[in-house]
Amino acid sequence: MNYDQARWTDDDERYEPLLSEKHTDEADLDDAPLPDELTRDALELPDLSEPELARHYTRLSEMNYGVDSGPYPLGSCTMKYNPKFTEDVAVLDAAAVHPDRSPESVQGTLELLYDLQDYLGRIGGMDAVTLQPPAGAAGEFTGVLVAKAYHEHNGDERSEIIIPESAHGTNFASAALAGFDVVSLPGGDDGRVDLEALEAALSDETALLMLTNPNTLGLFERDIEEIAEMVHDAGGLLYYDGANLNALLGRARPGDMGFDIMHYNVHKTFATPHGGGGPGAGPVGVVDELAPFLPKPQIVQTAEGRYDFFDPEHSIGKVHGYLGNWLVLVKAYAYIARLGDPGLSDASAKAVLNANYLASQIEYEVPYGPFHHEFVASAGEQDAADVAKRMLDYGVHPPTTKWPEIVGEALMTEPTEIENRKTLDQLAHAFNAVAGEDDEALAAAPERTTARRIDQTAAARDLRLSWQSLDGE
Ligand SMILES: *Cc1c(COP(=O)(O)O)cnc(C)c1O
């Protein structure tokens, strides 16, 4: 398959102009059917017709790559396709609820949230769930605060959180932000937790061990029950980073493995849009013992079958306005309800099958395995970032690169359950074609995309948050 991304440029070869630059005619405010005292000219809105506007946004979307354009195997992120019915549900009139409404007047809303708490609790094997945190990272921070409050309540102040070296950066950040010292746990030769290293790291200062399972290499921590016992014997708690839950859905539950706290990345596992800074949700589940420390309010069902708010006795407080990112939660609810138990376990089965199939088809070295929902290949002598840029020329999104660092020049790949065999073969073709190319071809890539090599550091450090900030250039 050949690929060329759309290129919309003006005479100066600049990309699709801003709306404000497209503005050609002066707005004729004299004709505005409003009294003078209600009109203003300071807003500087571009004066454009609907077709001009529609074309502008369509062109921008054509210059972009998304999961609706092709495969998006960005490891750890679970970039699965978001079924459109979840969007339909979120735009129903009934979903537009003012957050200040009284519980009595929004019983349906609360019922949906209550049921979602229940679904997530059952999926994770947790006894109580808060829906407030707006992202996985925020869920981690919430979970760490819950653990802290629990230990303090027991008069057992602990200062350390143990985190595997290969963990996601947000784990370290959440622990540090909550005031803990981070003890970094080196991985074992098989890519899993090394029990001896864990024994050495555990002490009466251990508040928490944070793990994801399957781990970042896509490997299941087979010793998880022993790990849980060791942590609990040391008086610590076990935290499950739910980013990889897609591998376990409907088949195994963190709660049954001995985890005490977990977050769910609903924008990864439960198909709500993800990335681009859009809102997400990172609900947190806990076992019974920790439920009194959850954020307030919780949604509960009363004896009469009504829904109401409830403040847990030793709540850490609020971690988000109102009840969290409601519309994201609606989509997660719709997805879970539509798939049901058989659909969810089918999704995890296919996610695992697809990862293993793709791993078996690519020529790059894949040092560990067999895998769950993702695998980490090594670009070897090639630079993984260059490989990623070149893969774009083959019409696919590249994998996550250079992380985890245990694998040199890592290509962390997660095809997800949504791809069929033909698409997986297209991905394998892209990997293998790039594997055979020389440094020159890689350094020149990407050639077929709208934007070529961009200055990624400047893009992150020199933020232009509105078109006004471009003025005067
Ligand atoms: C994505 C991810 C997170 C953070 O989740 P966000 O929802 O992006 O804040 C944490 N841990 C792992 C392993 C992840 O992949």
Weakest-pLDDT range from 16-20, 148-152, 264-268 = 16-20
Top-confidence residue, 276 or 349: 349
- 447 touches 393 (CB < 8 A): yes
* CATH top class, domain 341-453: alpha beta
The radius of gyration computed from the CA coordinates of the chain, to the nearest angstrom, equals 25
Residue 73: C-alpha distances to residues 235, 255, 404, 454 (Å): 39, 28, 15, 21
Query: At CA 119, angle to CA 113 and CA 122, rounded to 5?
Result: 140
What confidence score (pLDDT) does residue 123 get? 98
Distance between CA 273 and CA 281 in Å, rounded?
A: 10
The token duo for 341 is 């138990």
- pLDDT tens by residue, 159-199: 999 999 989 999 999 999 999 999 999 999 999 999 999 99
Give residue 184 CA to ligand 1 midpoint distance, Å. 18
**Quick check: 382 pLDDT over 60?**
yes
Q: Is the pLDDT of residue 282 over 70?
A: yes
Reported as a single tens digit per residue, the pLDDT across 80-96 is 999 999 999 999 998 88
- In this structure, the strands spanning 237-241 and 181-185 are unpaired
**Ligand 1 pocket, mutate which of 262, 265, 412 (most atoms under 8 A from CB):** 265
Averaged over 220-238, what is the pLDDT? 98
Sorted by sequence, the CB contacts under 8 Å of residue 362 that are 6+ apart come out as: 377, 428, 431, 432, 435
Query: Residue 31, SS3?
Result: helix
Confidence of residue 328 (pLDDT cuts 50, 70, 90): very high
Instruction: Specify the residue with its C-alpha closest to ligand 1, atom 2.
Output: 243
Q: How far is the CA of 416 from the centre of ligand 1 (A)?
A: 16
Please state, for a pLDDT cut of 90, what percent of the chain lies above it: 79
Span of 92-101, 178-187, 220-229, 464-473 with lowest mean pLDDT: 464-473
6 phi/psi in degrees, rounded to 5: -60, 150
Question: Which pLDDT does position 460 carry in this prediction?
Answer: 84
Task: Give, using CA atoms, the residue closest to atom 11 of ligand 1.
Answer: 168
- Would you state the pLDDT for residue 19? 84
What's the pLDDT tens digit per position in 424-454? 999 999 999 999 999 999 999 999 999 889 8
Residue 469 clears pLDDT 70, i.e. is over it: no
Give the separation between CA 188 and CA 185, rounded to whole angstroms: 9
Ligand 1, atom nearest to 280 Cα: 7
Query: Ligand 1 centroid vs 132 CA: distance in angstroms?
Result: 16
Nearest atom of ligand 1 to the alpha carbon of 267: 7
Sequence ranges of the domains in the chain:
85-337, 341-453
Nearest CA to ligand 1 atom 6: 136
**Residue 147: predicted pLDDT:** 98
Distance 414 CA to ligand 1 centre (A): 14
Do 408 and 382 touch, CB atoms closer than 8 A? no
At residue 15, φ and ψ (nearest 5 deg) are -60, 165
Which protein residues are within 6 Å of ligand 1, measured from CB?
76-77, 135-137, 168, 170, 212, 241, 243, 265, 280, 282
Mutate to test the pocket of ligand 1, among 77, 131, 168, 266 (most ligand atoms within 8 A of CB): 168
Ligand 1 centroid to 104 CA: how many Å?
Answer: 35
Where does the pLDDT of residue 353 fall: very low under 50, low under 70, confident under 90, or very high at 90 and above?
A: very high
Say how many Å lie between the CA of residue 307 and the centre of ligand 1.
Answer: 31
Mean pLDDT across the stretch 251-276?
Answer: 91
pLDDT in the model for residue 313: 98
Pocket test for ligand 1, best of 76, 144, 240, 244 (most atoms within 8 A of CB): 76
DSSP state of 187: B
Fill in the DSSP letter of residue 10: -
Rounded to whole angstroms, the maximal C-alpha distance in the chain is: 79
Q: How far apart are CA 22 and CA 9, in angstroms?
A: 12
Read off the tokens for 343: 């659909």
pLDDT for the residue 32: 64
Average the pLDDT over each of 26-40, 47-61, 169-183, 237-251 and give the range with the smallest value. Answer: 26-40
- How many CA atoms lie less than 13 Å away from 415 in the CB half-sphere? 29
Give the list of residues 6+ apart from residue 410 with CB closer than 8 angstroms, or none: 376, 377, 378, 379, 384, 400, 401, 402, 403, 404
Sheet containing 237-241, strands listed edge to edge, beginning at the edge strand earlier in sequence? 128-130, 284-286, 261-263, 237-241, 206-211, 160-164, 181-185
Percent above pLDDT 70 for the chain: 95
Q: What angle do CA 360, 364, 355 make, to 5 degrees?
A: 35
Write down the residue that tokens 């660092």 correspond to: 405
CB distance 195 to 227 below 8 Å: yes
CA-CA-CA-CA dihedral for 327, 330, 334, 337, to nearest 10: 160
Q: Which residues of 427-462 are buried (b: 16+ CB within 10 A; e: fewer)?
A: bbbbbeebbebeeeebeebbeebbeeeeeeeeeeee
pLDDT at 402 > cutoff 80: yes
Strands (DSSP E) contained in 275-419 are 284-286, 298-301, 307-310, 375-378, 400-401, 410-413
pLDDT for position 24: 60
Atom of ligand 1 nearest to the CA of 244: 13
Spacing, Cα 137 to ligand 1 middle (Å): 6
Distance of CA 366 to the CA centre of its chain: 24
Q: Ligand 1, atom 3: nearest CA belongs to which residue?
A: 136
**Whose CA is closest to 383, among 434, 423, 334?**
434
Distances (CA, A) of 194 to 98, 215, 277: 50, 13, 35
Mean pLDDT of 53-69: 93
Q: Which residue in 427, 410, 409 sits closest to 418, CA to CA?
A: 427
21-41 pLDDT per residue, tens: 776 655 555 566 788 788 776
Three-state DSSP class for 156? Answer: coil
Rounded to 5°, angle at Cα 428 from 423 and 432: 150
- Token representation of residue 442: 């890689």
The pLDDT score that the predictor gives to residue 473 is 47
- Both tokens of 220, joined, read 């299941």
User: What average pLDDT is seen over the chain?
Assistant: 92
User: Is residue 224 a contact partner of residue 213, using CB atoms and an 8 Å limit?
Assistant: yes
Pairing of strands 237-241, 206-211: parallel
- Say how far apart CA 269 and CA 264 lie, in whole Å: 8
The residue among 370, 399, 394 whose CA lies nearest residue 445 is 394
Instruction: State the average pLDDT over residues 323-333.
Output: 93
What sign does the CA torsion over 246, 247, 253, 257 have? negative
In this prediction, residue 9 carries a pLDDT of 87
- Give yes or no for a contact between 446 and 440, defined as CB atoms under 8 angstroms apart: no
Fold of 85-337: Aspartate Aminotransferase; domain 2 (3.40.640)
Expressed in angstroms and rounded, the spacing between residue 243 Cα and the centre of ligand 1 is 6
Among the atoms of ligand 1, which is closest to the Cα of residue 76?
15
Distance 355 CA to ligand 1 centre (A): 19
